[in-house]
Amino acid sequence: MDCVKEDLEIEDVSPPNAEGKDLEDTKQTYGHEGEWMDEEEDGKDWKSDVNVEIMAEWFCTNCIDSNPDDESCCGQCGEHRNSGILEQGYLASRDLPEKANDMEQRKDMSDSEIKLHLTFPPLWTPQTDAASTAIGFDERMLLHSEVQTKSHPHPERPDRLRAIMGGLSAAGLFSGLCCMIPSREATLAELEWVHSHSHVEAVEATSLHEASYFGRDTYANNYSALAARLAAGTCIDLMTAIVKGQILNGFALVRPPGHHALSATAMGFCLHNNAALAAKAALSAGAKKVMIIDWDVHHGNGTQEIFDSDSSVLYVSLHRHQAGFFYPGTGAASEVGIKDGEGFSVNIPWPCGGIGDEDYLFAFQNVIMPIVEQFAPDATIISAGFDAAKGDPLGGCQVTPSGYAHMTQLLYSLMKGKLLVVLEGGYNLRSISASAAAVLKVLLGVSPGEIPPSWQPTFAGLLAVSEACVIQSRYWKIDRMSLLNMQMLLSAAETKFKENKNDPRQPVSGPQAEDQPQG
Ligand code: X5A
Ligand code: ZN
């Protein structure tokens, strides 16, 4: 097992400032700053000189924040300790549903109070002529979970898929509307389309151990290699079926996620790069040009690396970057691809958190759609993490289900429906199940409607998009007028920005940010 141990110790994260990022990561991932590092060193969950009394706590199913034992609702997100979120996803009552269903108690409740407790699927009409949409899912992907040795649950947990599946079923999005494709395991030869032989072996070898780690945050148990093969195989099969015209589009509800997995390294909760494998499958099924658009809040460093020098795969990513201080640290706008692939990586790096729908739509309108129209892909894969969603414990951004629906719609129109959506990250169960449902509806042919007429990016969003525009205009035609317009908005906004206490999250044209609810 010598080679395994060696591989397990590889941690290929080279941030510009590892110390700053580690602290941020630990805090964001585990909610308790520094706590995790203590455990690594001494293997204890608590220090007796600090915690004289041991406080009982519970971890919120929805957002994994810790709560004192005497509270019944999560202080962070409001979810009831025993809510039905794993069965019903975003349609579960946030509060306990029994109260509203119990006629005795209900007598004393007002109509609006009852409405608060009962949630119904919003009304919508499926397109009857919609060509088929396939879901890829397999319960064996739930077997991949962290062997609990830490005091805080890992955010990348099996409940993520339970909540999404629950929400989709409760909303009636499955029955008769979608077809399920049976999952199959990717073969080792397929995995080597994008991964090194030793990487594939290292992942396979984890099945011999009850618990193993790639770096500090990427766990594996006995079933992780199986789950990772199933996730990859599901994406490969869905993509192949789309390119062959057997289905119109597909949603791969898979885990472990994939976009941080490099050709030779597992990292960032990712074992095999599912989206990259789907892109290779598209190419071998006859597609000449493939696009991967990655809206996970983290940069897909693995996907970018795999196709860095490849002009047949266009990689586009929107992500929180913070000048390299946000995980994984890569994805500056200046990273455009190398050799033959120069100009085939497009990075839109948000300089801070708090980025929302209007920034994403602004990026789609000004950089992404113009480039995608020129590239004219034969197949499009969305690396769909939902950790930029409002309420996500890691992302700190503001995207709503409607924002995800509009992004999907823009790509849907361009690709005439031919899309493969691959789940990546996303850690607030309510946010991810509502977002996944919104995306699936668009795949089923339900339009999210017009984009609201008046909307503005934030200063931070404008900054990132115009930076990407300037850099990408070396490779793609970017409309002169929209470049000019952005420059003008920018200089006007710079003045406002200074007046507005230097908050880059202010909308570029309004003081009304204060009125907007903060997630
Ligand atoms: C897939 C994904 C996040 C890794 C964060 C590590 N990974 N701190 O969202
Ligand atoms: Zn992510």
Looking at ligand 1, which residue's alpha carbon is closest to its atom 2?
A: 425
> Minimal CA–CA distance to 396: which of 330, 352, 451?
352
User: Tens digits of per-residue pLDDT, 460-484?
Assistant: 999 999 999 999 999 999 998 889 9
258 alpha carbon – ligand 1 mean position (Å):
10
For residue 312, the model assigns a pLDDT of 98
- C-alpha separations of 257 from 5, 201, 302, 373, 427 in Å: 22, 18, 11, 28, 12
Query: Measured between alpha carbons, how far is 266 from 274 in angstroms, rounded to an integer?
Result: 12
Query: Measured between alpha carbons, how far is 510 from 519 in angstroms, rounded to an integer?
Result: 19
Peptide bond into 257 cis (omega under 30): no
Whether the CB-CB separation of 278 and 422 falls below 8 Å is answered with: yes
Query: Measured between alpha carbons, how far is 111 from 307 in angstroms, rounded to an integer?
Result: 55
> Residue 375: helix, strand or coil by DSSP?
helix
Please tell me which residue in 260, 272, 298, 406 is annotated as part of the active site. Answer: 260
Task: Give residue 182's pLDDT band: very low, low, confident or very high (50, 70, 90).
Answer: confident
Q: Is 425 in the pocket of ligand 1 (CB under 6 A)?
A: yes
Highest-scoring range by mean pLDDT, 12-16, 111-115, 403-407: 403-407
141 alpha carbon – ligand 1 mean position (Å):
18
Residue 16 has pLDDT above 50, yes or no: no
Looking at ligand 1, which residue's alpha carbon is closest to its atom 9?
A: 425
Q: Which pTM was predicted?
A: 0.85
183 alpha carbon – ligand 1 mean position (Å):
24
Q: Is 294 in the pocket of ligand 1 (CB under 6 A)?
A: no
Q: Which position has the token pair 């500056």? A: 332
User: Tens digits of per-residue pLDDT, 443-463?
Assistant: 999 999 888 888 899 999 999
pLDDT average, residue stretch 217-238: 98
**Which residue among 272, 296, 298, 432 is best mutated to probe the pocket of ligand 1, counting the most ligand atoms within 8 A of its Cβ?**
298
User: 10: how many CB neighbours lie within 10 A of its CB?
Assistant: 16
Whether the CB-CB separation of 424 and 384 falls below 8 Å is answered with: yes
> Minimal CA–CA distance to 260: which of 210, 194, 161, 193?
194
User: Tens digits of per-residue pLDDT, 171-180?
Assistant: 989 877 899 8
Those residues with Cβ within 8 angstroms of residue 315's Cβ, 6 or more apart along the chain or in another chain: 291, 292, 294, 300, 303, 304, 307, 337, 344, 345, 346
Closest atom of ligand 1 to 259 CA is 1
For residue 24, the model assigns a pLDDT of 39
> Minimal CA–CA distance to 330: which of 20, 17, 27, 14?
14
Query: Measured between alpha carbons, how far is 67 from 31 in angstroms, rounded to an integer?
Result: 11
- The token pair at 72 is 């019944």
- The token pair at 177 is 């509307």
Residue 388 has pLDDT above 60, yes or no: yes
Whether the CB-CB separation of 379 and 420 falls below 8 Å is answered with: yes
- Provide the sign of the torsion angle of the four alpha carbons 368, 371, 374, 380, taken in this order: negative
* Dmax (CA) of the chain: 71
Those residues with Cβ within 8 angstroms of residue 273's Cβ, 6 or more apart along the chain or in another chain: 194, 195, 258, 259, 261, 262, 302, 303, 306
**Which residue among 21, 216, 260 is best mutated to probe the pocket of ligand 1, counting the most ligand atoms within 8 A of its Cβ?**
260
Query: Measured between alpha carbons, how far is 357 from 413 in angstroms, rounded to an integer?
Result: 19
> Residue 402: helix, strand or coil by DSSP?
helix
Whether the CB-CB separation of 272 and 195 falls below 8 Å is answered with: yes
297 alpha carbon – ligand 1 mean position (Å):
9
Across all residues in the chain, what is the average pLDDT?
86
Whether the CB-CB separation of 376 and 289 falls below 8 Å is answered with: yes
151 or 105, which is more confident = 151
Q: How far apart are the first and last CA of the chain?
A: 47
Ligand nearest to the CA of 423: 1
User: Tens digits of per-residue pLDDT, 367-383?
Assistant: 999 999 999 999 999 99
Q: What is the DSSP letter of 136?
A: E
Whether the CB-CB separation of 276 and 258 falls below 8 Å is answered with: yes
96 alpha carbon – ligand 2 mean position (Å):
30
Return the H-helix or E-strand segment holding 381: strand 379-384
> Residue 92: helix, strand or coil by DSSP?
coil
**CB within 5 A of ion ligand 2: which residues?**
296, 298, 385, 387, 425
For residue 445, the model assigns a pLDDT of 92
Those residues with Cβ within 8 angstroms of residue 70's Cβ, 6 or more apart along the chain or in another chain: none
Q: Is 354 in the pocket of ligand 1 (CB under 6 A)?
A: no
Whether the CB-CB separation of 443 and 251 falls below 8 Å is answered with: yes
Query: Measured between alpha carbons, how far is 365 from 310 in angstroms, rounded to an integer?
Result: 25
For residue 55, the model assigns a pLDDT of 75
Closest atom of ligand 1 to 296 CA is 9
CA–centroid distance for 47 within its chain: 35
Residue 144 annotated to the active site: no
Looking at ligand 1, which residue's alpha carbon is closest to its atom 1?
A: 425
511 alpha carbon – ligand 1 mean position (Å):
34
**Which residue among 11, 317, 327 is best mutated to probe the pocket of ligand 1, counting the most ligand atoms within 8 A of its Cβ?**
327
**How many helices (H) does the chain have, and how many strands (E)?**
19, 12
Task: Give residue 251's pLDDT band: very low, low, confident or very high (50, 70, 90).
Answer: very high
